[in-house]
Structure 1
């Protein structure tokens, strides 16, 4: 611009600056929209600016302060003109004497400009009424913006509901305009008539601002609406009814998606706003580990707060139906529940519908798995083999596979071992059962202590880190034998693999290794006792060695058999009996999986596997038993002195083990550990040893003298 700026140019500068500010803000808002805006075919608001319900800012000039004047209009006629212009502004029309301007597309702060030539009395009424126009502009903009496809169905429904309220508002303004044309309307009457509409428009405007500012959509929008409804006071009955109406109307598309999910197991979410999402990474055909937990996931930020208490029921209802759908050949075999209406109500009556759908789908899946896949029989079979409840299988396994399992892990032929294990399973009393074909052999190149620590960390998070790291239990994996690394594995088809997932199988395998190694040591001690009986008739120096060795062998066998009896009969069997009773009341697969996991936890804890320090002492005693059983009368144990040294070590380890058991029994409400102590200390056999050892605190705590 050439030349000097004159006072007459100042209004023009103000006008251009205001227009530039609005255009920059619109550009920023357009760039910050969601990527879903690309669904829109055209930006019709910029191409057809006069089609909007809101104020149109398409003028070439934009005057912040109206330049038109009423100085020459008599005061008696001025009120009629002001009312006429005010009614225009109420519906987003342009006025020569009034301007309503916001910074941004939707803003909490509005700038209201009124011509200073208006009479002061009329000026006061106008300033009190103009916020109605600001609220109208906020609502109109929200209604038009929510029509975009990218806003989602909930915001579209909310915009539609507000549009209906605007239609009633426009009819009300039209009635005022008719009255004003008859010159029967004064400014104070306008202020009186708009009071009810003023509060309604303020409510809708506040909702529009909050939804826009927080960029809410889907369940988040419904949470905001529900919060508004809960915060409203009872006296404003009309506002409560309006808020309840727009909340119920906005929830219709969302509740339709919920209904599709809980009754059909289908996700209908065309605009990515539903609380449940299907993870494409976990393909249904693969059924990879974690499918049950990760295939369908909750998006907590999209869960409406009125569904917060039942969100997991909603999630599991559809998950159960999808599992059945993937197993049956046609939809007719699914036995779907009859579809019920699911409207939003402030009293949350829809809870009953959701719970009925959940119970039906969960019960259907549980019955399907129990009947079609004999799930309980498979769990029983797993108990037989993993927990060594099939006695003849243990004997066959030790007899058939001894030659291979006695080798170093690197020297074992896996295919030969698998064949031998299969022969042991088939030659048992359960050879006719089809479930036994699912068991295969495998070798774990990791000592039991390391596996236990790993499982405690991954599967039993209640264990503290200090407990996990406190044990010194460790064996070199390079020198592991087949007996120390052998375990069974179970292959399961879908959906049985939901119950026998990798976590469950890992715990079963840990228990199997623990129990099977005890059976192996017992077999060694039995062989040593047989060899010792053959020298019973010997006289001379060998007679003393025989007597000493037989006594130690009997004590070791007594200790091991009592430990096996405790783990089998006092730990596993009571837990199994409790499990079978609880399973009868299970109503869903999740309940069954939880009961099954509780059964495993009890077995693991009662078999001393959760206490790594105690397990380390027990494995130390087993090592002494192994050294004696595999060496006596074969290798280097050929005199009484070596047997005495081994016996001394056995006594020391046993006393430490019994002492720790007693301390732990003080926190054991079941009394199982104390029973184990008295079983090992039968007839107070170790009382003298305990007294000679540094176990005074032990004797005081047990009060053995009273027994």
Structure 2
């Protein structure tokens, strides 16, 4: 075993021969029969309960040594076994281990040759063990003087399992069979005497001839005479059935037809030998095994006949049926050869034991490959029941991972035929945008009822259940977008530029459909899909940017609906101030439209493209009782054509919501600017009335708080929300590979603005609090304006009194009379007692209400999940003015830190 691999093939027989000589005590010249039986043990399962699992055999040996108290030997055996596995010189190690185990059981027998004496036929088979390959192959027996060998002594091992993987993994060679593989057997067989014969209808692969030793049957080896006839016994009679009848029955069964002795048992769903016939158990098992071909044939044939008659099965299903029918046609050729040979033997009276004659044993060999193919086809039929289109292709593709190259080549051939309709439909879709899918087999679905304005969003979708397993989700999405882009260009953009590379792709042979499921071996399909996808998407985006000026419209949304054009918005507010202060029911749309045109002509907005300015308009929202013009006024932007695909009606509603919020915030900024201007003007005007200084100071303090709040809020909205989101949007639009990326980026932009502007469902409470603060600012403006109006009346009255004094003095009269002085004093006392205290009380209530609202707003914002909003609360209360008055603003971390400091 320690020799090199190239010497392993010659060393193993020599070592085995020495082992036989040592056990039997015979010289090398007389040990030949026992050597042949050793070959049988190493190369066959027959007659010996061999565990085909190396691990099980090694464990059995180790446990046996431990039971006998030989723990050290068990450890030594485990170490030697590990070294044997690591060298890899011997493939069929479990057979050698089993032989050693049997030898160890017979060491207690005085006769060292008892192992080889039991069950050894006089005509020992000649199937040597090939240690290099681990497979049983035809072997020419060495000449022997004591035993005559004839072709009739050739037999095969029928103990192979019924599973697809187990059968071909045990006997067949590992060379892949080209597809489609003919069911015809090869034209060569090997007899035991070493002669090769050529005949019409020989075996496809001849396994080493092994005599079956079955202790439970009547005979361990079928003798020559029993190969011609089989005895059938009943209660009172005994007669013989020629083996030819069973062979002929099996040829019928291969075609799904019942024979004389082999009939179909519906209760067991299989073919069964007549129980009244006294056929030996071994022969019954052999016939049952052969009859499996007929059962599998019926299964596949019934599926083909049923599905071929189904008109709704689709092109993929029909291709699958055609592939199955092609395999059945190959199977028919084998049946034809067998029938021809049987008929030839009957006509010529050839003996059953002659070379090339059709026997049960030879049928096993000849139907070995067809049985594997039929099992594979039957498994496909089972897994494909109730499926069609891409789902059917996915089920077949799951068998492509089979480890046997024979089965894998068969699956590859069938999958190539099945995927051709999918491949043809895919090519027409990605190059022409045509979808010919009558039976809903393709993974792209179309809704013909959808109009062009919703073509991109609703007309074409992915039918996920029909996406083949060999096409990834990302590839399916790109295929969908490619065809959808072509249809969008043609039907919406009116662009019929042909797709680049279409002529080359349409000339591709449909047999290259295997590119789709062989992507692990070549990138042809992946490169084709990526190339067409990038070319088509790039052309669509170029048309949108150049012909339909998408970026200009996007920037117009930012400038007008999101208040990015500052000079225009300020001038518009100045022009609309008087009209919007009126009740909403008194507004007229044509008057507001005229004011809008005036604002455009008076600002830099006049230099925008005329097409953009024509789309800008005024819109009045739904009027509620008590609303003013400020509550219902809104700007609108009309979109149509291809750009409507991006600026959908849903998106425009979101733009209007954001505009309404920004308009309110801008109005607060505008109002506070007026408040500050009035405060500066009246502080100088009313300085002659010293009694008003405390009220003026109170107004200045409250106004400053409001200005700080609105300035920080406006900074947050303008920069952290709009500018940052707008910058991200532009970057994504420039890097977009397709229109879907542009739409997704635009929707993310709107969602971000909606969320950070407190317009989503989760921020409804905070928005209500903010609007309450806005209302308090309006109340403050009205209260201050009312106070200033009263104070100015008082100032005018005092100025008039002073002027009257000067006038009377200039005329030579007393400046004032006692009555005039008393009247002036009473007027001033009434002013000081009525106006100033009530105004101060009103301002105090407004200040307290405002501070309470701001504190609650800060508490709610501090708990918000958005980081920028939480940072807004810090800027609004940077000096902790509100934090000292509201304990809820103290975070647990801040409280703990303060406690540690104290």
Identify whether the pair has TM-score above 0.5, normalized to the shorter chain: yes
Residue deviations 1:377-434 (CA, integer Å, cap 9, x gap): 2111110111101112212322333344334444433454344435434543122422
**Mapping for residues 568-647 of structure 1, pairs under 5 Å:** 568-610=718-760, 611-634=763-786, 639-647=839-847
Specify the alignment match of 2:826 in structure 1.
none
In the alignment, which of 372, 379, 386 is matched to residue 199 of structure 1?
372
**Cα distance in structure 2, aligned partners of 1:153 and 1:605:** 49
Aligned to 2:242: 78
Q: How far 1:158 sits from its partner (Å)? A: 0.7
1:496 equivalent in structure 2: 643
The answer to whether the aligner puts 1:651 opposite 2:851 as a matched pair is yes
1:487 and 1:154 mapped to 2: Cα distance? 56
Correspondence 1:259 to 2:436:
no
* Distance verdict in 2 for CA 1:558–1:696, change over 3 Å: closer
Asked if structure 1 preserves the Cα contact closer than 8 Å seen for 2:489 and 2:495, the reply is no
Decide whether aligned partners of structure 1 residues 326 and 632 sit closer, same or farther in structure 2, where only a CA change above 3 A counts.
same
How far apart are 1:197 and its partner, in Å? 0.6
1:386 partnered with 2:561? yes
For 1:313 and 1:96, how far apart are their aligned partners in 2? 61
Instruction: Tell me the equivalent position of 1:87.
Output: 251
Deviations 1:520-546 (A, max 9, x none): 222223333444444332215444433
Deviation track 1:629-683 (CA, whole Å, cap 9, x = no partner) reads 234223899622211221222222223334444555xx666x6753x4564446x
Q: Which residue of 2 aligns with 1:112?
A: 271
- 1:93-145 per-residue CA deviation (whole Å, 9 max, x = no partner) reads 46455444769xxxxx6243544565614554432222211111121222233
1 CA distance for matches of 2:892 and 2:273? 96
Change (3 A) 1:101 1:490: farther
Shift of 1:362: 1.9
| Aligned partners of 1:658 and 1:677 also within 8 Å | yes
The corresponding residue for 1:209 is: 382
SS at match of 1:343: helix
Residue 145 (structure 1) aligned to one of 306, 327, 347: 306
Aligned position for 1:173: 335
CA distance in 2, matches of 1:698, 1:514: 30
State the secondary structure of the residue aligned to 2:617.
strand
The superposition leaves residues 33-62 of structure 1 with CA deviations (integer Å, 9 ceiling, x where unpaired) of xxxxxxxxxxxxxxxxxxxxxxxxxxxxxx
Q: SS at the partner of 1:584?
A: helix
- Give the Cα–Cα distance (whole angstroms) in 2 for the partners of residues 485 and 169 of structure 1: 82
- Hey, what does 1:439 align to over in structure 2? 616
Task: Count matched residues.
Answer: 587
- In structure 1, list runs of 5 or more residues that go unmatched: 1-68, 104-108, 447-476
Matched-pair contact (CA < 8 Å) for 1:336–1:361: no
Deviation at 1:328, TM superposition (A): 4.5
Contact 1:155 / 1:221 at 8 angstroms: preserved in 2?
Answer: yes
Query: Given that residues 524 and 630 in structure 1 are in contact (C-alpha distance below 8 angstroms), is that contact kept between their aligned partners in structure 2?
Result: no
CA contact (8 A) 1:586 1:592 kept: yes
Counterpart-to-counterpart distance in 2, 1:210 and 1:631: 82
**Where does 1:15-414 land on structure 2 (aligned, <5 Å)?**
78-93=242-257, 95-100=259-264, 110-115=269-274, 120-121=279-280, 123-148=284-309, 149-183=311-345, 184-212=357-385, 215-230=386-401, 232=402, 234=403, 236-284=404-452, 287-288=453-454, 291-309=455-473, 310-329=475-494, 331-332=496-497, 340=505, 341=508, 343-345=513-515, 346-348=517-519, 349=523, 350-414=525-589
Contact 1:328–1:334 under 8 Å retained in 2: no
Contact (CA 8 Å) 1:265, 1:321: kept in 2 or not? yes
CA positional deviation for 1:228:
2.5
Report the alpha carbon displacement of residue 491 of structure 1 after superposing the two structures with TM.
2.0
Q: Distance in 2 between matches of 1:113 and 1:673?
A: 81
Cα 1:520/1:367, change in 2 over 3 Å: same
- 1:565 and 2:715 correspond: yes
Q: What is the rounded CA distance, in whole Å, between the counterparts of 2:843 and 2:359 in structure 1?
A: 118
Q: Distance in 2 between matches of 1:700 and 1:135?
A: 75
State the TM-score, normalized to the length of structure 1: 0.75
Instruction: Report the CA distance between 1:272 and its aligned residue.
Output: 2.3
Separation of aligned partners in 2, 1:127 and 1:696: 86
Structure 1 residue 330, shift from structure 2 partner: 5.5
Equivalent position SS for 2:846: helix
Q: How far apart, CA to CA, are the structure 2 residues paired with 1:373 and 1:403?
A: 38
Change (3 A) 1:305 1:354: same
- Matches of 2:258 and 2:862 in 1, distance apart? 90
SS in 1 for 2:461: strand
Corresponding residue for residue 38 of structure 1? none
CA distance in 2, matches of 1:680, 1:143: 77
Aligned residues of 2:668 and 2:774 also touching (Cα < 8 A): yes
Whether the 8 Å contact between 2:316 and 2:388 is mirrored in structure 1 is yes
> Do the aligned residues in 2 keep the contact of 1:528 with 1:630 (CA within 8 Å)?
no
Q: 1:373 to 1:426 in 2, by over 3 A?
A: farther
Partner SS for 1:440 = strand
Equivalent pair of 2:258/2:264 in contact (CA under 8 Å): no
Q: Relative to structure 1, is the Cα distance of residues 485 and 339 closer, same or farther in structure 2, using a 3 angstrom cutoff?
A: farther
Higher mean alpha-carbon deviation, 183-192 vs 569-578, is at: 569-578
Distance 1:668 1:93, change over 3 A: closer
Q: Which has the larger radius of gyration?
A: 2
2:695 pairs with 1:545? yes
Contact 1:263 1:339 survives alignment (8 Å): no
Evaluate the alpha carbon distance shift between residue 192 and residue 324 of structure 1 in structure 2; reply closer, same or farther with a 3 A threshold.
Answer: same
Alignment partners' CA distance in 1, 2:332 and 2:233: 27
| SS of alignment partner, residue 644 of structure 1 | helix
> Residue 233 of structure 2 contacts residue 239 of structure 2 at CA under 8 Å; is this kept in 1?
no
Tell me if structure 1 keeps the 8 A contact 2:499–2:536: no
Separation in 1, partners of 2:886, 2:271: 94
Q: Which range moved further: 304-313 or 167-176? A: 304-313
Residues 144-189 of structure 1 show CA distances to partners (whole Å, capped at 9, x for unaligned) of 3333332110111011111111111111122222222233211221
**CA–CA distance in structure 1, aligned partners of residues 898 and 855 of structure 2:** 15
Distance 1:178 1:337, change over 3 A: closer
Query: Unaligned regions of 5+ residues in structure 2, if any?
Result: 1-231, 346-356, 791-834
Give 2:666's aligned residue: 519
Q: Contact 2:247–2:359 (CA<8 Å) still a contact in 1?
A: yes
